[in-house]
Structure 1
Amino acid sequence: MNADPVILAVQASWAVTAVGVGLWVWGWLKAPTPIAKLRFYDTGVVLIFSAILVRIITQERALTWFDWGMVVFGPLFIGAALWRLGRTSNLDKT
């Protein structure tokens, strides 16, 4: 059995999407502080948008307007979430 890298990437992106949604849910239900909630949300955003971009890049059909929107705005959301994660990295230590 040959492992196709594209299929592996798509399957891994679905697993990462599940982890990202799990972080959103965990932040919504179980985060002890507002900063922790924000950090769970931001980490989920990074994982979900990254996984979506992987699936867009690996698809074989032509890009739709939604795909192009995700390609343009996805990295902006990822960058904003990473910036906010960096800014809040020292605020949650008690």
Structure 2
Amino acid sequence: MELTPASLARIVSWLATGLGVGLWAWSWMRETNPIQKQRFLDCGIVLVFASTLVRLMVQEREMTPIDWALALLSPLFIAAALWRLGRTACPTDLER
């Protein structure tokens, strides 16, 4: 198998998906602090949906209606998760 940029992107996107699912699992099973739980979930959402977008971009087949739905909804989920991550960030010395 020759390593092309598209195949490298596909491999890295699957690794990011695994990491995102791992963050989801960690937040559901291990984390007890509600803010930390939400932050782990949001980081997992960003990783999973961003890697889904990467796989949609490098796929070699025509896009199905499910692919189009993911392409339209993924940026919304990513934006919402990044907004929540910004809202739950630790305050800096300037904000205290």
- Return the TM-score normalized by structure 2: 0.90
The structural deviation recorded for 1:90 is 1.9
The structural deviation recorded for 1:29 is 1.2
| 2:74 counterpart letter in structure 1 | G
Who is 2:48 aligned against? Answer: 48
CA distance in 2, matches of 1:14, 1:57: 14
| Root mean square deviation, CA, Å | 1.3
CA distance in 1, matches of 2:47, 2:3: 24
The structural deviation recorded for 1:25 is 0.5
| 1:16 counterpart letter in structure 2 | A
- Return the TM-score normalized by structure 1: 0.92
| 1:34 counterpart letter in structure 2 | P
The structural deviation recorded for 1:32 is 3.0
Who is 1:10 aligned against? Answer: 10
The structural deviation recorded for 1:30 is 1.3
Residues paired across the two proteins, number: 91
Structure 1: 4+ residue segments shifted above 3 A: none
Who is 1:25 aligned against? Answer: 25
Structure 2 residues not aligned, in runs of 5+: 92-96
| 2:64 counterpart letter in structure 1 | T
Task: Work out the percentage of aligned pairs sharing the same amino acid.
Answer: 51
CA distance in 1, matches of 2:38, 2:9: 28
The structural deviation recorded for 1:2 is 5.1
CA 1:42–1:12: 2 relative to 1, 3 Å: same
Structure 1 residues not aligned, in runs of 5+: none
| Partner SS for 1:26 | helix
Who is 1:72 aligned against? Answer: 72
| Partner SS for 1:23 | helix
The structural deviation recorded for 1:31 is 1.1
